[in-house]
A and B are shown apart, each in its own frame.
Chain A
Amino acid sequence: MKSKEIAQILNFQVISSPNGDVDIKYGIVCDLLSFVMAHALEDSIWLTIQTHLNTIAVAVLTGIRSIVFVSGQKPNEETIKKAIEEKINLYVTEKSAFEIAGELYKLGIRGEEKRL
């Protein structure tokens, strides 16, 4: 399913969408950047409350193209600028990670992580 379709269905606030046509295959919920770095698969949509600039760096390193900031956490200017530069879609939702993961799961997106 396309990233922009998901955003529309789940009513995300779109912060940046330079890569809205990217196909999303998996989901990951994690706020520990080092874990995401080691375990996230490309083509994942990442749910986190970490709005820090380093979150974008981790997305770039793992090939993640879409990040949803949950629990209403809004990224700052620096983070947004970097995301646009790196062609990463950013969304914000008031709902919690638990709820959004649940909704995405219902849309057929499963959780897969790399095993080390």
Chain B
Amino acid sequence: MRIPKEFFEGVKVKEIMNTDIVMVTPYHDMKSIQEIMRIKRIDGVPVVNDLGKIIGLVTVENVISALASGDLKSPCEKYMVRNPKYLDPEDNLYTALKLFRQYRFGRFPVVNNEGEVLGILSTKDIVLKLLAIEEKEVKIEKKSELEPLILEYPVLGGDFVSAGIASSTVKKVLQQLGVEPSIIRRVAIITYEAEMNIVIHAYRGVLKVFLTPEIIEIIAEDEGPGISDIELAMQPGYSTAPDNIREMGFGAGMGLPNIKNCSDELRIESIVGKGTKVISKIYLDKK
């Protein structure tokens, strides 16, 4: 079977590109990009500057070379493809396919006139278009009642672009598992505040959620400055966040009180100069 050229010319890149993308900054380390690729099931991550304009693309091949050199802690600037070839959203699929054949890359970012990334077009997207099948969300199933489901996501300090993605993913998983909406909302508030705390205050951290039929445990652990007076930090209105964070809508000293309010049990461990660990529990069998 040969598909006529007119068919491809009639499809625009913007209609079939994947818009569910994650963008990173040049100082993101390769390790967290590897995690983003794994969690989001994508194989290319655009790198943007402070103005949101594309300056590079980290591909799965770049991650492999960093991995091979045991250098995953380096910023992605070192490994990314600089000034990558890209497609225009108005390009048609025929033009795109010619570019795929010419360069033999697996994916191209789709960039508008202002240099902003709107999506990514990969060979997978094209195949899916041809098959006219909708990509279904992967169902996550619990292996057994005894084994807890563990979700784990890296969070990078200072990264306001992808802040909230971890919490959003946790929420979606809990919804798929059919957890009660009022519980999901509490978990969402806890994870989101904890994630923002890492973004605002720490260098890097990890958000973990353990789920069993009886309990949901949320652990947010970071490498950062730590908290010298936890009792003070728990007081509503107390914050060490600088003014620029306040102007972004955070740092009003309500984060920890919000977490406490949504938790059945809360413990905070912190070592100044090392980091902080927030452990929150929600009991599910409380009737």
Q: Name which of B103-111, B120-128, B205-213, B234-242 contacts chain A.
A: B234-242
Contact A52 B254 (CB under 8 A): no
Docked pose: A32 CA to B249 CA in angstroms? 8
Contact B246 A50 (CB under 8 A): yes
Contacts of B247 in A (CB 8 A): 32-34
A31-B252, A49-B252, A49-B254 known; A54 and B243 CB under 8 Å? yes
Contact B246 A33 (CB under 8 A): yes
A window 66-94: CB within 8 A of B: 72-76
Give B14 Cβ to nearest chain A Cβ, in Å. 35
- Residue of chain B at shortest CB distance from A34: B247
- Residue of chain A at shortest CB distance from B238: A76
Contact A74 B236 (CB under 8 A): yes
Docked pose: A52 CA to B249 CA in angstroms? 14
B9-34 interface code vs A (CB 8 A; 1 in, 0 out):
00000000000000000000000000
- Interface size classification for chain B: 10 to 19
Docked pose: A50 CA to B252 CA in angstroms? 6
Docked pose: A32 CA to B75 CA in angstroms? 33
Name which of B238, B239, B253 has the most chain A CB atoms within 10 A of its CB: B253
A39-81 interface code vs B (CB 8 A; 1 in, 0 out):
0000000000111101000000000000000001111100000
Contacts of A75 in B (CB 8 A): 237
A33-B246, A34-B247 known; A52 and B236 CB under 8 Å? no
Contacts of B254 in A (CB 8 A): 49, 73
Docked pose: A72 CA to B246 CA in angstroms? 19
Contacts of A73 in B (CB 8 A): 236-237, 252, 254
- Residue of chain A at shortest CB distance from B244: A34
Contacts of A52 in B (CB 8 A): 237, 239, 246, 252
Docked pose: A32 CA to B247 CA in angstroms? 5
- Residue of chain B at shortest CB distance from A74: B237
Docked pose: A54 CA to B239 CA in angstroms? 12
Contacts of B252 in A (CB 8 A): 31, 49-50, 52, 73
Docked pose: A34 CA to B249 CA in angstroms? 12
Q: List 27 contacting pairs A-B, 8 Å CB cutoff, sorted by A.
A: A31-B246, A31-B249, A31-B252, A32-B246, A32-B247, A32-B249, A33-B243, A33-B246, A34-B247, A49-B252, A49-B254, A50-B246, A50-B252, A51-B237, A52-B239, A52-B246, A52-B252, A72-B236, A73-B236, A73-B237, A73-B252, A73-B254, A74-B236, A74-B237, A75-B237, A76-B237, A76-B238
